[in-house]
Amino acid sequence: MKQWRPVSPDVWQGRDDTQEAANALRLFQTTTRYSDFHPDRTDEDIVLLGFECDEGVKRNHGRPGAAQAPDILRRSLANMASHKDQPSLADLGNIFVSADDLEGAQQTLREAVLACQRADKRTLVLGGGHETACGHGLGVLDAFPQKKVGIINLDAHLDLRHAPHATSGTPFRQLAQYCEAQQRAFRYACFGLSMAANTQALLDEAAKRQVTIVDDLCCLNAPETALATLHQFIAQLDIIYLTVDLDVLPGWQMPAVSAPAPLGIPGAQLLRLIEPICCSGKLRAVDLVEFNPAYDRDKQGASLAARIAWQIVRWWG
């Protein structure tokens, strides 16, 4: 596969407590790293992929650095506990951008996700900027052409921008256009939206596309209303693709993103939204995007992002 490479064995390292007890295990001991890309030959139900890309962030005039995120997030995951009741992971490596060929990398991610889904694997992708969502979302839509596929975006931004080329701000407009061309419904919900960070033009585009929006103030001040809207959205779907833009978290909790949120939804409250999605039986694909290690403080952001990913895997199981 072009623009793909396996993960270095040095990434999955951690503290070994097996002298204490045989079941004192961590993820680095239960995650299988593969040196080639054959999802149909893996025993694990969840496939981990990295998308080493911040070309879309650069094109969107953001702060580059997210291309370094996948392996750093793996390192934070590696030392977390691996319990008997959570599924193990198959690490199938990283897709990267060659020169500035974002579109080529997105196509490779799309094909990789399609191959995984066709092999009946669930996909967990570590971005990368939010341009990750275009390739990941297309792969899921391709895999389930006859199903009602819904996109749930936990994000301060709609990412429905008009632009002459793909950026980190355009993925859901691209997915909407794809659905339109395929004459299938575009089912998209954004939770945690900052009204202050989205122009009227973006809100108009969302209204045109019949996007479900629950803003950050509703999530913070009326969490039961937000959850009720979420359950209503889930009930319409056969398949869910969940994308978590880490800038939905408060800047004090997640400084390591291109655009830190002045308000945001704290991690514990965000997990209240994530749990019913994971437990719905409809979730097939998840990504965490926009983590930028260049702006992290004492690995604070990496630890929180990894904890969210760990919790998703646990609930997914």
Tokens of 267: 């991690």
| Pairing assessment for the beta strands 89-96 and 4-5 based on DSSP bridges | antiparallel
Q: Determine which of 14-18, 24-28, 75-79, 96-100 has the lowest per-residue pLDDT on average.
A: 96-100
- Residues facing residue 125 across a β-bridge: 49, 287
Closest CA to 260 of 194, 163, 188: 194
Which pLDDT score, from 0 to 100, does residue 266 have?
Answer: 98
The domain in which residue 131 lies consists of: 4-316
Residues annotated as binding site for Mn(2+)? 130, 155, 157, 159, 245, 247
Q: Does position 152 have pLDDT exceeding 90, yes or no?
A: yes
Count up the domains in the chain and report the number: 1
Q: What radius of gyration do the chain's Cα atoms show? A: 18
Q: For the domain that residue 298 is a member of, what is the CATH number?
A: 3.40.800.10
**How many Cα neighbours within 13 Å face the side chain of 63?**
14
The answer to whether residues 308 and 242 touch, using CB atoms and an 8 Å cutoff, is: no
Sign of CA dihedral 150, 267, 286, 205: positive
To the question of pTM greater than 0.95 for the whole model, the response is yes
Tell me the CA distances in angstroms from 266 to 125, 296, 306, one per residue in order.
Answer: 22, 17, 15
- At 303 the pLDDT is 98
List beta partners, residue 33.
91
Binding residues: 130, 155, 157, 159, 245, 247
pLDDT band at 85 (very low <50, low <70, confident <90, very high): confident
- pLDDT above 70 coverage of the chain, percent: 100
3-class state of residue 137 by DSSP? helix
